Amino acid sequence: MIRNATMGDVKEIHTLLNHYADKGLLLGRSFSSLYDQLRDFKVWEDDDGSLRGVCALHIIWEDLAEVRSLAVDEEAQGRKLGQQLVRACLEEAAQFGINKVFTLTYQAAFFRKQGFKDIDKSKLPHKIWSDCLNCPKFPDCDEEALQCIVSDTL
C-alpha cells in the first residue's frame, strides 16, 4: 500500500535511503532534512507494516517538481514498487497542477521506462542546485537529468 509518510516512518526512511547512499546510488538524507521535508514523501508499506519503499515529490516552482529519494528495499525489488511510487508522485504533481517533473538519477533506464526523457542539466533552474552543494560528488555530478510531461505520462 502506498501512503503519505508519517513521523513514525522517518527512521526507516533514513535507514533505507542511507543504505543506497553508502553504495553511491543516491544522495543520503539527514534526519533533519527528512523531518523538514516529510510531507514530500510517500512510502510503500507491506501488509505486515514494514516499509519497503520510499519516494518524494519536491515542488521546485509553480510549474516544476522533482521526483527524488526513490529507494526500494532489496528484498522487495521486482514487485514494481518503484514504478508505483513514481506514478503516485506524478499523480500528486497533477493534483497540484504541476505538469513538468524531473529527476537526477543513476537509474536513467528505469525512469525512461516511466516516460521520462533525457534533458541537459543546464536546462534545470539554479534553485535545484542547493541540494547539490551537500553532495560528496559536487561539483563533478555524474547523475543523469530526465524530465517528463505529466499529462503525457499518466
| DSSP calls for 10-41 | HHHHHHHHHHHHHTTSS----HHHHHHTGGGE
Q: What is the CATH number of domain 2-153?
A: 3.40.630.30
90 contacts 51 by C-beta, under 8 angstroms = no
Per residue in 91-117, pLDDT tens? 999 999 999 999 999 999 999 999 999
Query: Order of strands across the sheet with 144-149?
Result: 2-4, 41-45, 51-61, 64-72, 100-105, 144-149, 117-118
- What per-residue confidence (pLDDT) applies to 85? 98
- What per-residue confidence (pLDDT) applies to 143? 84
- What per-residue confidence (pLDDT) applies to 142? 75
- Taking only the tens of pLDDT, the chain with its 154 residues reads 999 999 999 999 999 999 999 998 888 899 999 999 999 999 999 999 999 999 999 999 889 999 999 999 999 999 999 999 999 999 999 999 999 999 999 999 999 999 999 998 878 776 566 666 565 665 566 789 999 999 988 8
- What per-residue confidence (pLDDT) applies to 137? 62
- What per-residue confidence (pLDDT) applies to 129? 60
- What per-residue confidence (pLDDT) applies to 140? 63
H-state helical runs in 23-119: 31-36, 81-96, 108-113
In 3D, which of 22, 27, 129, 6 has the Cα closest to residue 70? Answer: 27
Domain ranges of the chain: 2-153
User: Which of helix, strand or coil describes residue 111?
Assistant: helix
